[in-house]
Amino acid sequence: MKVPTFGRSTRPPAPPSAPPQEEMESLADSSASADPRRRETEDTVQSPGLVARALLDHVIQEMATDGHVQSIDLFGALGSVGGFSCVLTAFDIASAGELSDDADLIAMEAEDGSRYYTGNLPNAFLLESHDSLLNLTYGAARRSGALISQEMAMETLRYVVSTIGHPQFGIPRLTDENRPGETPLAYVRRLWPKLADALDRNRVPLSRRPFAIGLAVELAFFHVRPPLDPSLAARIVTECAIPMAKLDPRLIA
């Protein structure tokens, strides 16, 4: 993978400010990009509902054992690949030379030499734009009866930044009975290559892949049986997505 030129920091930056509460709602029927740098007519998801169904079915098929997938594992997997798609999309924009300033994508290097990424772009795809991965997740959780605040994302973001370069990075803070069967990194390594193929087949532009996976997460809230407590489902997605949105894509791609 070509490494783009962008800002670098040896210290984790402060987390972004929380978006207004009224923006933390689902806009699953919006197929066009909200990023002002990405307003080309072809940069849309065709038939987003069908794409969401196809992606959800694909992940279930890849994970099924004897035709069954644990709901906790499904939300963990969707959150993990969804978070990874945010940083991968930011890399794509950087590689195309479309960064507006150095704060759009920032590389952080840990003491062991490993790299992590943050900045305006991955944060926008993850939680700040109106149709971001976590906005879609929290909107679905609310419609399922959960009381979800954006503080869940902001607190998790602060925690994840504090663990960069440490063994705790990427380990969900969940009880044993509520923790997915694999780590977020293991889910990304296992599922992303084939999921990327599914996204290609459905002609989902790279810049809209966090949105498309967010739609699949939405769908999971209403179609998974037996249903999972929506607050727990949102927590699982959050704990898995945020660290994977800071992962070095070269570890996977």
State the chain's mean pLDDT as an integer: 84
In a domain, 188, yes or no: yes
Give the span between the Cα atoms of 234 and 145, in whole angstroms: 12
Q: Domain of 167? A: 45-251
Write down the pLDDT at residue 253: 61
Asked if residue 148 lies in contact with residue 235, where contact means CB atoms within 8 angstroms, the answer is no
Phi, psi angle pair for 30, to nearest 5°: -95, 105
Give the span between the Cα atoms of 169 and 10, in whole angstroms: 17
Model confidence pLDDT, tens digit, residues 179-192: 999 999 999 999 99
- Whether omega before 243 lies within 30 degrees of 0, making that bond cis, reads no
Write down the pLDDT at residue 229: 96
How confident is the model over 184-211, as a mean pLDDT? 94
In a domain, 62, yes or no: yes
User: DSSP letter string over 65-116?
Assistant: BTTB--HHHHHHHHHHHHHHHHHHHHHHHHHTT--SSGGGSEEEE-TTS-EE
Which class for 163: exposed (0-12), middle (13-18), buried (19 or more C-beta within 10 A)?
middle
In a domain, 37, yes or no: no
How confident is the model over 50-73, as a mean pLDDT? 92
Give the chain's end-to-end CA distance (angstroms, integer): 7
In a domain, 23, yes or no: no
31-35, 71-75, 221-225: the lowest-pLDDT one: 31-35
Write down the pLDDT at residue 155: 96
Partnered with residue 107 across adjacent β-strands are 8, 117
Q: DSSP character for 7? A: E
Residue 182 CA to its chain's centroid (Å):
17
In a domain, 27, yes or no: no
In a domain, 191, yes or no: yes
Domain tally, the chain: 1
In a domain, 17, yes or no: no
Write down the pLDDT at residue 201: 92
Residue 23 has pLDDT above 70, yes or no: no
Write down the pLDDT at residue 26: 38
How confident is the model over 65-80, as a mean pLDDT? 93
Question: Residue 188's CB: how many other CB atoms inside 10 A?
Answer: 27
Write down the pLDDT at residue 8: 46
Give the predicted TM-score (pTM) of the model: 0.83
Give the span between the Cα atoms of 122 and 119, in whole angstroms: 6
Higher per-residue pLDDT: 185 or 1: 185
In a domain, 97, yes or no: yes
Higher per-residue pLDDT: 185 or 16: 185
Give the span between the Cα atoms of 142 and 26, in whole angstroms: 9
Residue matched to tokens 């790299």: 115
How confident is the model over 204-227, as a mean pLDDT? 93
Residues whose CB falls within 8 Å of the CB of residue 153, separated by 6 or more in sequence, listed in order? 18, 127, 134, 138, 238, 242
Instruction: Report residue 74 as tokens.
Output: 């499904």
